[in-house]
Amino acid sequence: MAEREAVAGVSGEEQARVRRYVAERIAELGRLAELPAERLPGFENRDGAYPFIEVGRDGELRYLAYERGRKVLDLRTRDPQELLYWAFRDATYEAAGVWASRHPREGEEYRVTLWRRQFAMLHTLRPAWARRRREELVASLRDPAHIRLVPGLPLPPEG
């Protein structure tokens, strides 16, 4: 499947192919980001607010999570790349939070350390994802003092 190819209405065979494609990309990117497989979304609802993926017969990709049987997350797209962004935005946030707890930086707020780590992880996967996440974060903050805390992105390696 092409990198930006969108999924249209699909047969059962095409639905299985899209599912395989998404599963393979999640496994590949998860290894690259050094994320444990159990922290990546699969295709089964585990409740407990763990995100999972459904591939609909209509070609729609659904990124869902339930907490105690109540839906707490419901994002939909036909673009596998968008779904992958959501999955790794969330997985890297969680992993970065664990990392930041174990590696506090002197004089730096926990959330800044977390953001810095998440941006670095996303940059490793796709630099555009790190840029997008940073832009989303800045847009979500209202206080200019909080916006100033958002770290810059990792610099590309010199070549």
Token look-up 């339930």 returns 66
DSSP secondary structure string, 129-145? HHHHHHHHHHHH---HH
What pLDDT, on a 0 to 100 scale, did the predictor assign at position 155? 67
Instruction: Provide the 8-state DSSP code for 90.
Output: H
* Largest Cα span, the chain: 55
pLDDT band of 55, cuts 50, 70, 90:
very high
| 27-39 pLDDT per residue, tens | 999 999 999 999 9
Euclidean distance between CA atoms 95 and 80, whole angstroms = 22
Task: Quote the mean pLDDT of the chain.
Answer: 91
Global pTM reads 0.88
With 60 as the cut, is the pLDDT of residue 9 above it?
no
pLDDT band of 100, cuts 50, 70, 90:
very high
